[in-house]
Amino acid sequence: MPLRHDREDTTAQEAALREARDAAATVLAELAAEAKSLAKAYGARSVRIPDGAALAGLVDAARRAEEAVDIAAHDLATARGEDG
């Protein structure tokens, strides 16, 4: 089905949004796993205090992933002519 003249092909923006969402889901799953691991360590009151640097890095990665999703969603809305 050909596109109408007033419609932009949004295939690339839709793919970018899917990829950004997939990446965000992956980072959030990693963040959840790391948080669970730390919770177990703290709950066990282990003598060795776990390094929270990995958790902090994942939090930063989650923020960047969220920003990438927002940008991709905005680009898609712009391509569809939905933002105003």
- The 10s digit of each residue's pLDDT in 37-48 is 888 888 887 666
Model pLDDT, residue 1? 46
| Residue numbers of the domain that contains 35 | 12-80
Number of domains in the chain: 1
Model pLDDT, residue 51? 73
Taking the whole predicted model, whether its pTM rises above 0.75 is answered as yes
Model pLDDT, residue 83? 65
Task: Decide: 36 and 55 in contact? Cβ < 8 Å.
Answer: no
Q: Indicate whether 73 belongs to any domain.
A: yes
- Intervals of the chain under pLDDT 50: 1, 5
Q: Indicate whether 2 belongs to any domain.
A: no
